[in-house]
Chains A and B, each alone.
Chain A
Amino acid sequence: MATLVPPSPATAVTPPAAGSGAAAVEPQKADYLNLPCPIPYEEIHREALMSLKPEHFEGMRFDFTKGLNQKFSLSHSVMMGPTEIPSQSSETIKIPTAHYEFGANYIDPKLMLFGRVLTDGRVNARLKCDLTDNLTLKGNAQLTNEPHMSHGMFNFDYKGSDYRTQFQLGNGALFGASYIQSVTPNLSLGGEVFWAGQHRKSGIGYAARYNTDKMVATGQVASTGMVALSYVQKVSEKVSLASDFMYNYMSRDVTASFGYDYILRQCRLRGKIDSNGVVAALLEERFNMGLNFLLSAEIDHQKKDYKFGFGLTVGE
């Protein structure tokens, strides 16, 4: 006669169920000690900016880039078209200009140098150098013929495991600092302060960015009166839609814009419509390896200002 009672199957079953239940819950729990590094503070609106504010131009543009080496390349660029002059009246004044720009680029994993010289006397220079693994130095400068219009700026960026800080020095006693921290795997918050000695102005600002695989939502407030919100949704791997809202509470200026960004295999098409009555589109089409054709259009219904441009880019 069996006096031993075999263990009831119920008690044997429940612990594995609890174990698998716990295993299913764990991947969803955030690992707060290993948060990802956030996007740099000045690029917080990056997706919205790339989709809604591409480089529209007016006139003709031709760029030729020739690589001499793996790291060194030269670029020649011709631009002909009207340039707008800011005027007090509502009329836009355009003056036809044409210039040629010669540039040299040196690209290394640790050091990047860009220099440009234009026929109207301007010289641009940009530098990006990784001093150590976490510390980066960036600088840019522009020299012009007009007096008091030249400026330069240096940035020191430090990247931590889940935060970034930046310190900025510019000419005219411009100092700035910013800090951004990942709070959860999807949310990052940051702030910045700046002081402009020449104009005796200082300001403080805050920004927040929430992103998942499919969408990015950002918001930024600054004491200069600017409030900017943006939302980008990736509808499929080729299409994303973006919208942007900017409000200046000092000058009571409001602008909202909505746009699409189609990244297809042979072209990239970005179009947007604005609350100021501006409709703009930019098409970059790849004809061949290294040959890109650009078409840009910007129609301002309110000011009746129409700008169309075409361009060609040769080289990588």
Chain B
Amino acid sequence: MAAVRRPSLSRSGSGDDGILSRISDYSIVRKGKSAACDAAYVAKRLLKSTGKAAWIAATTFIVLGIPLIIEMDREAQLNEAELQQASLLGGAAPGQPAFMAPPK
């Protein structure tokens, strides 16, 4: 693709190449750039798939989890209310068995 120039440390040409283009000719810089491109690509894919997974998990929790939590809460409230009612009315009840026991 791009012409592979193999610059040697001792340059025979004149010094009119800029310092950046000279640095970017080194193979280590090229390898560093391709590694950075790959890393960016992988990071983008990872972010997208994490986003997809988060969306699927969130919608699944909304459909399966939220009605369950709401209904269990209501059941617990109902139980508590009944328990309170029973304890309010049940204050009179324990008198009865104690009343009935002695004649026996």
Contact = CB atoms under 8 A, between A and B. Distances in A.
Contacts of A273: 60, 64
B58 to A, nearest CB: 11
B78 A269 contact: no
A299 B60 contact: yes
Contact of B63 (A264, A285, A299): A299
Interface residues of B, number: 12
A264 B71 CA distance: 8
A301 B56 CA distance: 7
Nearest to B56: A301
Nearest to A271: B64
A279 B68 contact: no
Interface residues of A, number: 18
B60 A264 contact: no
Interface in A227-279: 260, 262, 264-267, 269, 271, 273, 279
Contacts of A269: 67-68, 71
Interface in B69-100: 71-72, 74-75, 78
A174 interface: no
B63 A297 contact: yes
B68 A262 contact: yes
B59 interface: yes
Contacts of B75: 264-266
A281 interface: yes
B17 to A, nearest CB: 55
A264 B70 CA distance: 12
Nearest to B66: A281
B71 A279 contact: no
Interface in A142-177: none
Given A262-B72, A264-B74, A281-B67, 14 more contacts: A262-B68, A266-B71, A266-B74, A266-B78, A267-B74, A271-B68, A279-B59, A279-B60, A279-B64, A281-B63, A283-B67, A285-B71, A299-B60, A299-B63
Interface of A: 260, 262, 264-267, 269, 271, 273, 279-281, 283, 285, 295, 297, 299, 301
19 contacts: A260-B68, A262-B71, A264-B74, A264-B75, A266-B71, A266-B78, A267-B74, A269-B67, A271-B64, A273-B60, A273-B64, A279-B63, A281-B64, A283-B67, A297-B63, A299-B59, A301-B56, A301-B59, A301-B60
